[in-house]
A = this chain, B = another copy of it.
Amino acid sequence: MTESAVLTSLTDKLSASREAARVLATATTAQKNDALRAIAAAIGQNESRILPANELDLANGRENGLSSGLQDRLRLDPGRLAALSSAVLEIVALPDPIGDVVRGSRLENGLQLTQVRVPFGVVGAIYEARPNVTIDIAALALKSGNAVVLRGGSAAENTNRVLVEVIQSALVEVGLPLEAVQTIDEFGREGATQLMQARGYVDVLIPRGSAQLIDTVVRESKVPVIETGAGVVHVFLDDSADLTTAVEIVHNAKVQRPSVCNALETLLVSAGSAERLLPPVIERLRDAGVTIHGDARTAAIVGDVVPATDEDWSTEYMSLDLAVKVVDDLDDALAHINEYSTHHTESIITNDVARAERFLAEVDSAVVMVNASTRFTDGGEFGFGAEVGISTQKLHARGPMGLPELTSTKWIVRGSGQVRG
């Protein structure tokens, strides 16, 4: 297709999304839940269409040298499809945020003000070759009354096309417009570029995937973006830290699931207690197979570390690697965090009230903790039920995002003829 043909045809699709959004905005919770149940059922019923399409993408992936890690993320099987269905049904059980009254008041002149939650309208999603995101984002968007335009990775194009067809059939079955969920994968890279320019058609864009993908979307998009970012997550062991607490939390934060954004990446230890705390903390980590990238003072205490360079302090390893630095004191720790943190999650291990409060007040991150594992930064753990992602920006949403973070608000003003004097 030529660029202008892409634009015309993409604009038609986005216009259809806008119209579908108008219908969804006033759909009842019952209708939206019916749609989600129909989608969950349809995923199971269409296994024989979905899996061959996925097989085709996998075959193309192998031919194009897709890494085995990416092949694994791309792969669907009956078990994974069943898990996707269950996840959709879990969203049925969550409260519908639309119509919730955020605040309200009656003015002196008798006007009644109510601020209520409304859908964004059209949510765009740009992500990489993970077909589960197709189902996941579509279900979250529908529950919150939004239409969604999906741009998945080209490596999952066949799988996503069939998944979207399956979702659309389920929507039609319950009387909702099929354009509520659309893919623009057929427009390739040019489609993604145009989606990022589509002000007036798309209300918010959510990138999901690698730091590079998110960075590209944040830099190029003219549509407002909710940034779900990387986590260079810190734990600081204060002089007053309890030893067992320090050992257990550092181990949990690094080892329990190293490949996720709330896993620990840099451990800071106060110099006054480094000799007391570091040896048992590091021993427990080494037993779990963690490679230590340490500064000179760390090496002097625990020996045999990979010498840490400046790059280590900025690295999100997402693996069994940990940067470790002995800092002078809390001030030094705060300065290090201020310089290197991605403002996701930081935790202090301490029994000193004043230092705990200073850490909570001065660390400028989405989530700040005292005596807890950073792994708790999670929508599920926070009790949100489903998680849209973890926002590391300050506008609109910060930290784990649930369904309410996929909504905007609207002011309702009820009068009886009031005019302004």
Contact = CB atoms under 8 A, between A and B. Distances in A.
B248 A410 contact: no
Give the size range of A's interface with the partner.
Answer: 35 or more
A165 interface: no
B22 A362 contact: yes
A419 B222 contact: no
A194 to B, nearest CB: 15
Interface string A294-338: 000000000000000000000000000000000000000000001
Interface stretch (A55-63, A81-89, A375-383): A375-383
A252 B420 contact: yes
Interface stretch (A3-11, A155-163, A174-182, A365-373): A365-373
A399 B410 CA distance: 8
A131 interface: no
A192 to B, nearest CB: 18
Given A383-B105, A417-B245, A365 B252 contact: no
Contacts of A290: none
A154 interface: no
Contacts of A414: 369-372
A224 B217 CA distance: 12
Interface string A385-421: 0000000011110111000000011111111111110
Contacts of A395: 120, 203-204, 224, 226, 395-396, 408
A73 to B, nearest CB: 22
Contacts of A199: 218
A45 interface: no
A418 B121 CA distance: 39
A338 to B, nearest CB: 7
Given A26-B362, A111-B376, A256 B420 contact: yes
Given A256-B419, A381-B420, A393 B224 contact: yes
Among A107, A395, A414, max chain B CB count under 10 A is at: A395
Contacts of A93: none
Contacts of A368: 410-413
Among A118, A347, A413, max chain B CB count under 10 A is at: A413
A111 B107 CA distance: 39
B418 A376 contact: yes
Given A22-B362, A395-B224, A419-B252, A411 B367 contact: yes
Given A218-B222, A362-B22, A394-B121, A399 B419 contact: no
A361 interface: yes
A101 B398 CA distance: 14
Interface in A193-213: 199, 203-204
A243 to B, nearest CB: 11
Contact of A26 (B361, B377, B408): B361
A266 B415 CA distance: 20
- Of all A-B residue pairs in the complex, the 10 with the closest CB atoms, nearest first, are A372-B415, A252-B419, A394-B408, A396-B396, A375-B420, A369-B413, A245-B417, A224-B395, A367-B411, A371-B415
10 contacts: A22-B362, A118-B364, A252-B419, A365-B410, A366-B411, A367-B413, A369-B414, A371-B415, A371-B417, A395-B408
